[in-house]
Amino acid sequence: MSHEFSYTGAMPSATRLIAETLSGPTGISPDEIEKNLEIPPDETLGEYALPCFPFAKTTKKAPAAIAQEWARNFAPSGIVAGVKSAGPYLNLSVERGRFAEAVLSEINRQGERYGGSESGRGRTAIVEYASPNIAKTFAVHHIRSTVIGNALANLHAACGWKTIRINHLGDWGTQFGTLLVAYRKWGDETLLERPDAVRVLMDLYTRFNKEKKENPALENEARAAFSALEKGEPSAHTLWNAFRQASLKEFQTIFDRLGIRFDETKGESDCASRSNELIRWLQEKGLARESEGALIVDLSDFKMPPCLLRKADESSLYATRDLITARDRHEKYCFDRMLYVVGMPQELHFRQIFKVLELAGCGWVSNCLHVPFGHYQGMRTREGTFILLAEVLDEAAKRTEVKIRDALREGLVSLPEGEIPTAAEKVGVGAVVFNDLKTRRIKDVIFDWDDLLNFQGRTGPYVQYAHARISGILRKAPAPVRTDADASALVHNAEVRLLKNLADLPRQVERAVADAEPSYVATALLDLAKAFSQFYQECPVIQADAAVQAARLRLADATRLALKSGLTLLGIQAPDKM
Ligand code: ARG
C-alpha cells in the first residue's frame, strides 16, 4: 500500500546529503539509504544509523559483515564525519556545522511549508472523509473520519499530489422512508427551521421505532415511502431534500470550526437512480445472480458473504451505491490513489466492494484503500450512542479558557484579556484534534479532558505552546532573525538533537502519506517540541555572544516554522500567543 519514496527537492536536505555521501562507498542508491536511515536511541553511537539487513539480499552477505566492510572502506567526507560498525548497523556521526547549515537552509527555503515535497507530483489522490448521515447527528466515527481524513488530504497535498477531498453523505436508504412517514405523522414545517433540526429529526426516528412495536404496519408504510422516493415521487423528494439541507447546514458549522472544506459534497443519493445500469453491467460480466429474490455477487470463493446489489423489494443498497460511486470517481478523476477514511466496522464492506470491482476487471481498484480507525473510549455520550461534536468543541474551548486564566494568574503566559477567547477556541479545538491523531489510527482514542488539555503532556496544547513560546522569544529578541546567520556555531548536543528532530519532519510526512498514518507527524511534533525545550534550557540564547546568538535565533525560528507547518498539516492552528 505504500508508494516509493523519492526526493526531488531543489536542494538536497541534510539526510539526502548524508545518503549521497554514503552512496559512493556502499554502492547503494541514495534513495535506499535515505529511506532506511534511523536515529539511534543512544546518542553516543552517533547521529544516525543505517541498518544493513535490507542490503543482505542484494550483496549476498551477512548484515554485520556488510557493516564492517562499509566502515572499513569509508573515509570521512562532506557532511559525514565518521562511521563505525556495530553489529548489523553502520553508525555515523555528522560534521555538525555542515549538518546545521543543511537543515536550516532547507527550512529557510520552504518556510511555513517545511516538511512538504514533490514526491506526489503528477499524481491524483482522492480522500473521502467525514461522510455523515443526514438527519442524524455527527456520530463519533464521523469525528474521527473527519479529523484523520483532513490530515491525510493535507499531507498528500503537501507532497505535491493533486488532492480531491470528498464528503460522501449517507443521504439515501430505507431509513428515509422511516423518516418520511414519521415526519408526515408527527412533524411540521417549523421543525426544519430550528437550529437543532437534526436533533428533532433524530427524535422522530426514535418515536417511530417505539410506535412500531405497537403498530407493525408502520414498517410497511416506511418501505412504501422509500420506494416512492426511489421512483422520484415529487412530494417525497421535496421533503427529503429539506431534511438534507437542514442537516448540511448543521454539519457546515462543525466543518467551519475545524477549518475543513471539501472539493465535492455528494452522497449516496447521487447515484441511486443508476442502480439498474450497474446491475446490468455486472450481469453482462456474469457476476450478478438471483438468490431468494435478491440480486447478489457470490463471493464464497473468497471466503466472504455475498455482496448484495438489490433487495427482493427492488430497493437499492449501500454496496450498489458504493460500486457506482467508485466507478464514477475513477472516470472523473482517473485517480492514482483513493482513500476511504471509514471506521473499522465497515472493513468487510470495503473488501467486498473492492473484490467485486476486481472481478469486473477494474484494475484500478488496487489503488483503492480502506483507511480504518478505532473507537473513542471515555467520551461522554448522550442517549447512549450519539454525541454532538459541537458540544465537545464548546466544552474544550471552555475548559481551555479556564486553564489559560489559571496560567495567566501564575504568570506562565501573557495574553491580553480580549485575546483569551480566540486563543481558547484554537487551543481547545486543537487539543481535541491532536488527541485523535497522536496514536496509531487503528487504536482506540482515549478521551480524557485532563490528559488531552495538559500543557505539559503529549498533547496538542504542548506543541502549540512550544510554537507560541518561540514566537514570544523572537518578539523579544534583541535582534531580528537572520536566515544567513552562520550555522556552524550550532554544535552543542542539545542543538544537534533539535536539528535532527527538524530534519526528521519531512521523512515523517512521507511515511505518513505512504502508510496513511498521520500519527507519525503528530509524534514528530511532540519530539520536536520536547527537543526545543531541552535546547532552550541548556543553551542560552539572549545571553550568548553575537555570533552564537544569531545562530540560535535562526535555529529557534526554524523550529517555529517546522512546528507551524506540522500543526497546519494536521489541521490544527498555531497561535503566536497563548
Ligand atoms: N455514511 C456512512 C456511515 O456513516 C459512511 C460512508 C462511508 N463511505 C462510503 N463510501 N461507504 O457509516
pLDDT digits (tens, 9 = 90+) for 385-429: 445 678 888 999 999 999 999 988 998 778 898 999 999 999 999
Higher-scoring residue by pLDDT: 188, 146: 146
- Mean pLDDT for 504-522 is 96
Q: How much is the pLDDT for 386?
A: 42
For residue 170, give the ligand 1 atom closest to its CA.
Answer: 1
Rounded CA-CA distance 397/552 in Å is: 34
What's the N-to-C CA distance of the chain in angstroms? 40
* Biggest CA pair distance of the chain: 86
Q: What is the pLDDT of residues 22-70, one digit of tens each?
A: 998 899 999 999 989 999 988 898 999 999 999 999 889 999 999 999 9
Q: How much is the pLDDT for 480?
A: 96
208 pLDDT higher than 80: yes
Task: Decide: 65 and 51 in contact? Cβ < 8 Å.
Answer: no
Q: How much is the pLDDT for 316?
A: 77
- Mean pLDDT for 269-292 is 93
Closest among 419, 542, 555 to 491, alpha carbons compared: 555
Q: Is the CB of 138 under 6 A from ligand 1?
A: no
- Mean pLDDT for 316-321 is 91
Task: Decide: 401 and 420 in contact? Cβ < 8 Å.
Answer: yes
490 pLDDT higher than 80: yes
Give, for ligand 1, the residue of 321, 338, 346 to mutate: max count of ligand atoms closer than 8 Å to Cβ. 346
Task: Decide: 524 and 504 in contact? Cβ < 8 Å.
Answer: yes
The superfamily in CATH containing domain 389-569 is Isoleucyl-tRNA Synthetase; Domain 1 (1.10.730.10)
342 pLDDT higher than 50: yes
Residue 515 backbone class (left: φ over 0; alpha: ψ -120 to 50; beta: rest): alpha
How would you write 341-400 as a 3-class SS string?
A: ECCHHHHHHHHHHHHHHHHCCCHHHHHEEEECCCCEECCCCECCCECCHHHHHHHHHHHH
For residue 2, name the pLDDT band (cuts at 50, 70, 90). Answer: very low
Task: Decide: 139 and 348 in contact? Cβ < 8 Å.
Answer: no
Q: How much is the pLDDT for 387?
A: 55
Q: Is the CB of 168 under 6 A from ligand 1?
A: yes
Tell me which CATH code domain 124-377 carries.
3.40.50.620
CA-closest residue to ligand 1 atom 1: 170
Strands 89-94 and 48-51: antiparallel
Rounded CA-CA distance 410/355 in Å is: 60
Rounded CA-CA distance 90/59 in Å is: 15
Lowest mean pLDDT among 71-85, 128-142, 331-345, 423-437: 128-142
For residue 322, give the ligand 1 atom closest to its CA.
Answer: 10
Q: What is the pLDDT of residues 84-133, one digit of tens each?
A: 999 999 999 999 999 999 999 999 999 999 999 999 999 999 999 999 99
Mean pLDDT over the full length of the chain: 92
Question: How many angstroms separate the alpha carbon of residue 322 from the centre of ligand 1?
Answer: 9
Rounded CA-CA distance 248/246 in Å is: 6
Question: How many angstroms separate the alpha carbon of residue 390 from the centre of ligand 1?
Answer: 20
Residue type, 496: V
Q: Kindly report the CA angle at 314 between 313 and 318, in degrees rounded to 5? A: 105
CA-closest residue to ligand 1 atom 5: 131
137 pLDDT higher than 50: yes
Question: How many angstroms separate the alpha carbon of residue 143 from the centre of ligand 1?
Answer: 13
Rounded CA-CA distance 576/466 in Å is: 10
Q: How much is the pLDDT for 11?
A: 56
Higher-scoring residue by pLDDT: 545, 8: 545
Q: How much is the pLDDT for 414?
A: 80
What percentage of the chain has pLDDT greater than the value 90? 80
Rounded CA-CA distance 98/77 in Å is: 11
| Domain spans in the chain, listed from the N-terminal domain onward | 14-94, 124-377, 389-569
Q: Which three cell numbers stand for residue 367?
A: 489503488
For residue 349, give the ligand 1 atom closest to its CA.
Answer: 11
Task: Decide: 97 and 487 in contact? Cβ < 8 Å.
Answer: yes
Q: How much is the pLDDT for 381?
A: 53
Rounded CA-CA distance 54/89 in Å is: 11
Rounded CA-CA distance 207/201 in Å is: 10
199 pLDDT higher than 80: yes
Task: Decide: 152 and 189 in contact? Cβ < 8 Å.
Answer: no
Phi, psi values for residue 193, rounded to 5°? -85, -15
Residue 27's CB: how many other CB atoms inside 10 A? 12
Question: How many angstroms separate the alpha carbon of residue 91 from the centre of ligand 1?
Answer: 47
Q: Is the CB of 458 under 6 A from ligand 1?
A: no
Q: Is the CB of 131 under 6 A from ligand 1?
A: yes
For residue 174, name the pLDDT band (cuts at 50, 70, 90). Answer: confident
- Mean pLDDT for 521-539 is 98
For residue 149, the surrounding DSSP H or E stretch is helix 140-158
Do the two domains 14-94 and 124-377 of this chain adopt the same fold?
Answer: no
Rounded CA-CA distance 553/186 in Å is: 66
What percentage of the chain has pLDDT greater than the value 70? 96
Strands 294-297 and 307-310: antiparallel
For residue 325, give the ligand 1 atom closest to its CA.
Answer: 10
Three-class secondary structure of residue 117 per DSSP: coil
168 pLDDT higher than 60: yes
Residue type, 178: T
Question: How many angstroms separate the alpha carbon of residue 389 from the centre of ligand 1?
Answer: 18
Q: Is the CB of 133 under 6 A from ligand 1?
A: yes
Enumerate residues 6+ apart whose C-beta is below 8 A from 204: 179, 182, 183, 186, 187
Q: How much is the pLDDT for 270?
A: 92
β-bridge mates for residue 289, sequence order: 296
Q: Is the CB of 136 under 6 A from ligand 1?
A: no
7 pLDDT higher than 70: no
Q: Which three cell numbers stand for residue 102?
A: 543543511
The superfamily in CATH containing domain 14-94 is Arginyl tRNA synthetase N-terminal domain (3.30.1360.70)
